[in-house]
Each structure stands twice: as structure tokens, then as C-alpha cells.
């Protein structure tokens, strides 16, 4: 390398100054980084846990809402079907009167056809008749409004169906009004007294 006068000057290697980091400073930075990482991990886990709880609450709310809607829909359906059953009762009574008055056969056949359509519609909505006559009295599905003395049937057996009852999807839509049997209770005390009086008169 030449100077301003043209003289060649030899290049001397410059000494490199390497600044070594302080181990204690590095240790502190590492410790701080670990603490920050732990905080970030805890925050992430906390946020994930909250999200899981929120998702569970949302799912429970959805299920509860769907259940309430289904229950409300079922209740409205039941009320509507009960009105149809009352109309059916009136229709059956009108048909009975028509038969007793010996109306034209074609008229009776037409009325019977309409009744079949009503029953078919009720069956399509899962409305089923409750069994009554000959079955044991069941307070869950039967409503006893009359009693009859009958030694031929077990006590509390349904002897007469006064009004049909119906089930809807396994639940009572309308209970059956029925008459049930009662055993005839004999007064054994009176009978014993009479026998005693008879024997005393003989003496």
C-alpha cells in the first residue's frame, strides 16, 4: 500500500477485539426467557381450559334448548290431538244415534268410513288405545268412576269401558274412564249370630 509520497507501506494485521458475553448475564436472560415461556404456557393452558368449558356450556345449552323445543312441540301436539279425540267422541255418539234410528245403510257406511279415517290419522300420529275390559285396574292409565259387585272376576278388574283412553309415544294422552269389579263381602258376623240364635231357640 502506497502513501502520499509513493512509498510502499506494509500492511499490519489489525487485532480483533472479541467481546465475550458475561455468563451471569446469559444465565439471567435464560432464566427470564424460561419464566416468560412458563407464563405463556400457563396462559395458553388457561385459555384452552376456558374454551373447553365454554364449548361444554354451549353444547349443554344447545341440548337443553332442543329438549325444551321438543317438549313444547310435543305439548302442543298433545293438546291438538286431545281436541281431535273429543271430536271423535262426539262423532261416535252421532254414529250410534244414526244406527239406532235406522238411517239409510249408505249414510251409515259413509259415517263409518269417516270414523276409520279419523282413527287412521290418530294411529299415524302414534296415538294408541289403552286396553281396558278384562285387564287389571291400573291407576296410571285408568280412572275408575264406577264399581260393580262381581264374584266371577278378580277384584279391581276392569269390567266396563265408559270412555276410551289413549297413549301418545308411551305417555298417557287421556286416561280411560272405567268401571271396576269389587268382591261381594258377606257379613259373617251376622251369619254367626243368626246360627247362634237358632240353636238357642231349639233349647
* CATH code, 158: 2.30.22.10
Does 19 map to a domain?
no
Does 81 map to a domain?
no
Does 142 map to a domain?
yes
pLDDT at 20: 54
pLDDT at 144: 93
pLDDT at 28: 83
pLDDT at 187: 59
pTM above 0.85, yes or no: no
The count of structural domains within the chain is 1
The contacts of residue 92 (CB under 8 Å, 6+ apart) are 115
Alpha-carbon span 109 to 95, nearest angstrom:
10
The DSSP-derived string for 115-165 is: HHHHHHHHHHTTEEEPP-TTSBP-TTTEEEEEEEE-SSS-TTBEEEEEE--
Beta strands in the chain (DSSP E): 127-129, 142-149, 158-163, 166-168, 171-174, 176-182
Does 137 map to a domain?
yes
Q: How far is CA 24 from the centre of its chain?
A: 68
pLDDT at 170: 87
pLDDT at 18: 46
Does 167 map to a domain?
yes
pLDDT at 26: 84
Does 31 map to a domain?
no
pLDDT at 19: 46
pLDDT, one tens digit for every residue, the chain (203 residues): 555 655 555 555 554 444 456 788 888 888 888 888 888 888 888 898 889 999 999 999 999 999 999 889 999 999 999 999 999 999 999 999 988 888 788 888 999 999 999 999 999 999 999 999 989 999 999 999 999 887 778 889 999 999 999 999 889 999 999 999 987 666 555 545 545 555 555 55
Alpha-carbon span 10 to 95, nearest angstrom:
133
Does 175 map to a domain?
yes
> Residue 145: which domain range?
129-187
Does 177 map to a domain?
yes
pLDDT at 76: 93
Rounded to the nearest 10 degrees, the angle between the axes of helix 23-100 and helix 105-124 is 170
Amino acid at each position: 500500500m502506497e502513501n502520499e509520497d509513493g512509498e510502499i507501506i506494509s500492511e499490519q494485521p489489525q487485532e480483533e477485539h472479541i467481546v465475550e458475553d458475561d455468563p451471569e448475564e446469559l444465565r439471567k436472560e435464560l432464566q427470564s426467557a424460561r419464566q416468560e415461556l412458563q407464563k405463556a404456557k400457563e396462559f395458553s393452558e388457561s385459555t384452552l381450559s376456558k374454551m373447553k368449558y365454554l364449548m361444554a356450556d354451549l353444547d349443554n345449552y344447545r341440548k337443553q334448548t332442543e329438549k325444551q323445543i321438543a317438549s313444547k312441540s310435543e305439548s302442543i301436539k298433545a293438546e291438538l290431538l286431545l281436541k281431535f279425540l273429543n271430536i271423535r267422541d262426539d262423532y261416535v255418539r252421532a254414529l250410534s244415534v244414526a244406527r239406532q234410528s235406522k238411517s239409510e245403510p249408505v249414510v251409515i257406511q259413509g259415517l263409518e268410513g269417516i270414523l276409520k279415517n279419523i282413527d287412521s290419522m290418530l294411529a299415524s300420529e302414534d296415538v294408541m288405545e289403552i286396553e281396558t275390559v278384562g285387564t287389571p285396574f291400573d291407576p296410571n292409565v285408568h280412572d275408575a268412576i264406577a264399581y260393580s259387585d262381581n264374584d266371577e272376576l278378580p277384584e279391581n278388574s276392569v269390567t266396563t269401558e265408559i270412555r276410551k283412553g289413549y297413549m301418545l309415544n308411551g305417555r298417557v294422552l287421556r286416561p280411560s274412564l272405567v268401571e271396576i269389579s269389587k268382591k261381594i263381602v258377606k257379613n259373617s258376623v251376622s251369619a254367626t249370630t243368626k246360627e247362634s240364635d237358632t240353636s238357642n231357640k231349639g233349647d
